[in-house]
Amino acid sequence: MSESPSVRLVQQSDYQFAIYYNEEREPIFGDEPPPLGRSQGATPSQFLMAGVANCLSDSLLFALRKFKQNPEPIETKASCEIGRNDQNRLRILKIDVEIRIGVPGETLENLERVLAQFQDFCTVSSSVSLGIPVNVTVIDSQEKRLYPVA
């Protein structure tokens, strides 16, 4: 893949930026919470988590669909831990991602194989995890944890 994705940010006021990911579409907005900003958009940390979670969800869906399986609907939540590094600078210390599929795991063929490799094909989380631990959990519609296997 020889893509070169890009975005364009235009300051709206203070720390709020319009983020153009496609010039033919309306922008999304980023902002900082008070006291710097006014929470009129997602924070940079939220955008990073969204990128990781979205890519992992896409990767799982793609892998299951390769085997003609339908796990929908998928709902993914991501959270992160922010703390101070050795230089007392705020950093994202880890990202936790929980992917919930909309069907019982036992109804999906080749699920074990898919779960063993879907993360390897996620460009964003594989890149981010070089510097920030990314912990992934997959849960089915019956609240059964499918990954990691207990």
Q: Per-residue pLDDT tens for 75-127?
A: 999 999 999 999 999 999 999 999 999 999 999 999 999 999 999 999 999 99
Count of alpha carbons within 13 Å of 46, Cβ hemisphere only? 11
pTM for the full predicted model: 0.94
Distance CA 47, CA 62 (A): 22
Contact 61, 74 (CB under 8 A): yes
